[in-house]
Amino acid sequence: MSIKQTIKKALPPVVLEAMTIHGIARLEKLVCQKNEAVIKGLLNGARPIKIEIGAGKDRGMEGWTSVDMNDDCALNLDLLKPIPFPDDSVSMIYSSHVLEHFKISEIFSLLSECKRILKPNGIFSAAVPNARIYIEAYQNPGAFDPEKFCGHKPAFNYNSKIDYLNYMAYMDGHHRYMFDEENILAILKKAGFKNPRLREFDPELDLKVRDSQSIYVIAEK
């Protein structure tokens, strides 16, 4: 029997629960302190602040600060909560295949926070998956290449052509919203961004592996 198992057997459940709560609170405090130190350093620095939200991991892009809910990124933040930067402090925000993981109300809340922390004329740039590709696959399955467009195998359970749509709409339970070229621009405009428009693939910013299924957009505060 391991030490961990021995402790669990010896201590009452109420004590174990208290220990767990205490440990979580301590971990949250440490994460908060680390975030505060990183943000303070960025605010006191001379370079423009550029953040990648929902980065997954730090890609090591020069001049960029990675943000996600894990310790692989420079900032460990829950994007459902306010972003702890002051108003008008960030020069550029980028996200790649992030917005589709939120409900529409959450998308607007996140975009509102992005707009708040951006400097006047600051840039919001994003890549989102193009659901139109999968709608067209349903309409014309013979012209669709699932090996190219359904690469995340846990999300692809093919029984008939409707599963091309299921792949994009649900992504094994991770997707909550679908985009096409028209509605992502409308959403950015409704969120208060200026001049939302489509853009080309940027090799210094965007991931090549996602290029075939992505819509790229850019707008200003």
Q: Are 75 and 118 in contact (CB under 8 A)?
A: no
Question: What is residue 13's predicted lDDT score, i.e. its pLDDT?
Answer: 62
Exposure string over 51-77, b if 16+ CB within 10 A, otherwise e = bbbbbeebeeeeebbbbbeeeebbbbb
**pLDDT tens figures, 25-63:** 666 777 788 999 999 999 999 999 999 999 999 999 999
DSSP string for 120-131: EEEEEEEEEEBT
Question: What is residue 11's predicted lDDT score, i.e. its pLDDT?
Answer: 46
CA count, 13 A, side-chain hemisphere, 29:
6
Question: Please, where are the H alpha helices in 45-120?
Answer: 104-117
Rounded to an integer, what distance in angstroms lies between the CA atom of residue 124 and that of residue 83?
15
Rounded to an integer, what distance in angstroms lies between the CA atom of residue 165 and that of residue 151?
14
Question: Please, where are the H alpha helices in the chain?
Answer: 3-10, 13-44, 104-117, 132-139, 146-149, 162-170, 181-190
Q: Are 191 and 112 in contact (CB under 8 A)?
A: yes
Full-model pTM:
0.88
Question: What is residue 32's predicted lDDT score, i.e. its pLDDT?
Answer: 87
Q: What type of residue is 135? A: I
In the predicted model, residues of the chain with pLDDT beneath 50 are 1-4, 6-7, 11, 15-16
Question: What is residue 30's predicted lDDT score, i.e. its pLDDT?
Answer: 78
In residues, how long is the chain?
A: 221
